[in-house]
Structures are given as C-alpha cells and as structure tokens.
Amino acid sequence: MPEHGRRTFFGNLAAIAGAGMVSRWFGEGSVAAAESAPLSAAASRTRARAAYDVRLRAAQRLLNAPVPVHRVNGDEDRYASRIGNYSKGLAHNAAGEVQPTSYAAFLHAIETGQPEAFERIPMGAERRLVNPLAGLAYNMVGLDGHSMTVPPPPALSSAAEAADIAENYWMSLLRDVSFSAYDSHPLVARAAADLSRFSEFRGPKVNGAVTPRTLFRSNAGTLAGPYVSQFLLLEARFGAERMERQMRTVLPNIDYMTDYDCWLATQNGTMPWPDQYDPTPRHIRNARDLGQWVHYDLLFQAYLQALLVLFRIGARRQPENPYMISQNQLGFSTFGSPHISSIVCDVARPAVAACWFQKWFVHRRLRPEAFAGRIHNHITGEAQYPIHSEILNSDALQAVFSKQGNYLLSQAYPEGSPLHPSYTAGHATVAGACVTVLKAFFDGTFVIRNPRQPTADGTALEPYEGPPLTVGGELDKLAFNVAAGRNMAGVHWRSDADASLRLGEDVAIEYLRDDRNCMPERFAGYTLTKFDGTRVTI
C-alpha cells in the first residue's frame, strides 16, 4: 500500500474506532498504531466532546422538565393515629394501630433521608424495612424519578377504597378456582354481582356490570382470550436452552393471617413460616399460581421471557426500525436483539426508583391486610373507624366470615405483604416500563399463531380457539397479570396496579427518548400504543 494510502486508511480507522481499537487489532508496538496515534487522539477528543454534548442535552431536558405537584390523599394529616397509612414492621398496640413514637421516628427518617435516622426507628419485631433510601436514588437515563407523579390513592373512608378491598376479598376467596372455570362457577358469579354494586369500582364492565368474563381483568384491552397471557405460557428459548414454563407452585387451600393473633404479629414484623409446595409442576391456572409466580420472580423476568417468546415466534418488528428497510445492514447493538434485551432489563431500575420515591416519600399507603384489620376491629366493636358503608354491607364480608369466622383478608404469602408501603407497586411499575419497551420494538398488531391455554389442573397446555390474540393485547395482559397477581396474593390493590402501570409507562417513554438520542441512525421515533389506547411517537 502506498505511504499516503496507508496514512489515510489508518487515519480514517482511528477516527472511527480510536487508538485503543487500532492497538488491539495491530499490536501496541506496531507502526500502524504509532502512525495513527496523533490522529486518533484528536478524533477521541472530538468524540468525547460530542458525547458530552449528548449528555448535556439530556441533562438540560431534565432540568427544563415541568416540576410536578405530588398530591396525597390526606390520610396522614387527617388521622393522628395514622390508621390510613403504612406502618407494618413498626411497633403496634393491640388494635394494630402504630405506636406514636415509632411512627414519629419513621417520619423523621423519611423527612431527613439520613441512613442513621432509619436505624433509630423503634421496630415491632425482627423484619426490616425494605430499602426506603432507594427512593432518593438518581437515574442516568430518562427523567429523574422525582420528576414524574401519580394521582393520590383512594382515602381510607372513600367508596373507592371500599371497592378496592372488596375485590381483594373476592380474589382471596377464589384463589383455587381455575380461570377456565370462571364462566360457570357460582362463587365467581356472586363476586361479579357484588362488585357491580360498588359505586367506585374501577374494573372493566359490560353494560355497567362486572361479569365473569371481566372479573379481575384490566381496562387496557385484555378481555380477549384466556386470563393468563400467552407470554407466561408459550415456550421460550434462552439461546440454545429451552425454558420450561411450568412452575413450582404451592398447595391449595392454605392461606395465612386468618386469625387475629397471627395478623397482629405480622403487622409487628414477625418472621414468616415457610411455603408449602405442590410437588407437581403446573402452568399458571388460577389466582394462587399467579400470586406465587410473582412471589419470587426477578422484577424484569416476565418481560425478558416475553422477549424470548417474541424472538421464537418471529414476531414482526415495528416498521419504524431503520433496519427493516436497509438492503445492506442488520441491527445488532442498536435496534437488534442485544439492544432490546438490555433495555428490557435495564429500564427496571429507574422504574423501581420512581416507584420507591412515591411509596416511601409521598404516599405511604397502608396495605390491604392492614385495612382488613381495621374492618374486622370496626365490625367486632374493638374500635371505631370511618369505613365506607358499601364495604360494610358487602356480600364479600359475609363470604369471608362464613369461611374463616372473622373479617381479615387471608394472605397467599406466609409473610403477607413486604415491608414497604403499598402505593405505588414495584411489580406493576416495572411491568409498565418493560412492556412499554417491548411495544416500542414489536408490532402490536402481529397475531400470535397457535395460542395455548392451561388445562384446568395446570399440568398441560391445550389449544385455545377463539378471537385472535395479538402481541399488543397479550403484552398489555402480561403487565396486568403480573400486577393482579400481587393483588390476588393479598398484598396490593387494583388502584395500586392502575397507577403504577402508567408510572412505569412514563418511565419507559422517557428512557427511550434519551436512548434514541444516543443513536446515529436516521429514525423517526418509536411508535406504540399506550395502556389507555392512545398512540404516541417517542
């Protein structure tokens, strides 16, 4: 090669890849590395400046973002006894009300944000609060978690809170009924009729009424097909490995916190009993299975598995992907499989950070198990609370009392809820974020071929025959399945799920906006359908 050609070649190479890459190709002591060093240093400085400008623009976007007003439901100021707020793990009296000194120390720690202040909180037993300081963590991609907000949760005395807990009660009563039996099971019909009477029930309805087909489902277009999303059922392949979709679930008819002494001890933070496992592997067939699936999952697990299913079935990518029309190039590190899989996992962290800020530093909403304890003590005359009459007159309470002789909300998990506030919900926020990423890369109208559904006992899958199931619909269903599974276990409310899915969606949209600005391709933007049905281009 002529000398001027060699200089041009290595200079261009250095400008593209930098001296480090040239050295790796040709060796540290090579003539090529030495000759290219001055040019590569200049190119590296130019690249560093360009990278700085990208980060600066992202930071300026964050700085210029509207400052949200974080509205609360007022329960913490309304009740000096803090009966409307989270206090699990702190010290409680015999009525399950938090000790004032314990809550005061808890609030002081929240207000100061100092790790040492959390160490001085008087706790009730052995269990520890779950990572409150995570709500103060910063994100390096997308908007800061404090720059996004959610509506306030229902207040303790509201009709919306009454409707929320009524659904939780019915979920607990129907844990062992197969989803495939909902159309004919008498207790399902009873639950649908009861929930239809609540003035503020926010679940889907048909002609103004809850039906067995709409029971425990979402308003986000998830009424078609089996209750469980195809992405929790279909075979996934992790590289050369095949992933078995049957799970280790727990034995039926075993619930926890069904007597008052156990309920009170759990509010104080006693250590839980072990799970009692079913020896037979099963597909998710009922509320107990779904609750157990989200008991031990990694937060991004369902969506990474969904991505692997999408790869296996050859789901169509979004037409905006620039490599869909390229004649000579394929996507890989950008717009390809490594890009998608890394984002699906990575977006979980800012989603959790945004969620943890809301739950610890804004709302501090009580868990359903705690509210059910208030209902029990109110009805039995141990205390008087401002509980809405719609739940006190509900058929759900009669059904619960007939089963266990009290008005407590039975729990699917031995420990009940985790030791962090209820609103917003971590699983649901991550679900909203990760599913939004998948919708940005895959065509939601793609029809899933050969869909399946579990047999009644969950030991096998059988063909589903019915209206077509699309990628978009089943991704929305997946997100709500994960959120509702936590409700079915007794640890979250429907209003937690609804707000958190949208918070996660907001996190993902802002994450994708920053990610897009880092890529060199000519790209019009990610276009997707949000949970509320609107189309957005990022």
pLDDT of amino acid 277: 97
Residue 363 has pLDDT above 50, yes or no: yes
pLDDT of amino acid 21: 35
pLDDT of amino acid 151: 98
User: Token pair of 170, please?
Assistant: 């019915």
Q: Which residues contact 275 (CB under 8 A, 6 or more apart)?
A: 250, 292, 295, 414
Where do the structural domains in the chain lie, given as residue ranges? Answer: 3-64, 75-537
Residue 17 has pLDDT above 80, yes or no: no
From the CA atom positions of the chain, what is the Rg in Å?
26
Share of the chain above pLDDT 70, in %: 93
User: Token pair of 357, please?
Assistant: 């800020």
| Other residues' Cβ atoms within 10 Å of the Cβ of residue 417 | 25
Cα separation, 379 vs 354, in Å, equals: 37
Average confidence (pLDDT) over 71-100: 98
User: Token pair of 505, please?
Assistant: 């969606």
Given pLDDT bands bounded at 50, 70 and 90, which one contains residue 220?
A: confident
Q: Which of 34-43, 121-130, 420-429 has the lowest mean pLDDT?
A: 34-43
Question: What secondary structure does DSSP assign to 56-100, as a single string?
Answer: HHHHHHHHHS--------SHHHH-TT-TTB--TTB-B-TTSPBPH
Q: Which residues contact 149 (CB under 8 A, 6 or more apart)?
A: 68, 69, 70, 71, 358
Terminal-to-terminal C-alpha distance of the chain: 47
Average confidence (pLDDT) over 453-470: 97
Q: Would you please indicate which residues are annotated as catalytic (active-site) residues?
A: 420, 427
| Other residues' Cβ atoms within 10 Å of the Cβ of residue 128 | 12
Residue 160 has pLDDT above 70, yes or no: yes
Residue 101 has pLDDT above 80, yes or no: yes
Residue 136 has pLDDT above 80, yes or no: yes
Cα separation, 62 vs 24, in Å, equals: 38
| pTM, full prediction | 0.92
Cis peptide before 424 (omega within 30 of 0): yes
Average confidence (pLDDT) over 477-494: 98
Share of the chain above pLDDT 90, in %: 88
pLDDT of amino acid 37: 55
The domain at 75-537 falls in which architecture?
Answer: Orthogonal Bundle (1.10)
Residue 13 has pLDDT above 80, yes or no: no
Q: Which residues contact 242 (CB under 8 A, 6 or more apart)?
A: 235, 236
Given pLDDT bands bounded at 50, 70 and 90, which one contains residue 4?
A: very low
- Helix (H) / strand (E) element for 435: namely helix 426-441
Given pLDDT bands bounded at 50, 70 and 90, which one contains residue 5?
A: very low
What are the pLDDT digits (tens) for 501-531? 999 999 999 999 999 999 999 999 999 999 9
Chain-centre distance of CA 11, in angstroms? 49
Query: Is the four-CA dihedral 120, 124, 127, 129 of positive or negative sign?
Result: negative
Nearest to 372 by CA among 404, 409, 415: 409
pLDDT of amino acid 518: 92
Mean pLDDT, the chain, whole residue set: 92
- 43 and 14 in contact (C-beta within 8 Å)? yes
pLDDT of amino acid 39: 62
Given pLDDT bands bounded at 50, 70 and 90, which one contains residue 222?
A: confident
Reduce the DSSP state of residue 514 to 3 states and report it: helix
What are the pLDDT digits (tens) for 315-348? 999 999 999 999 999 999 999 999 999 999 999 9
pLDDT of amino acid 309: 98
- 291 and 275 in contact (C-beta within 8 Å)? no
Cα separation, 58 vs 55, in Å, equals: 5
User: Token pair of 53, please?
Assistant: 């400008």
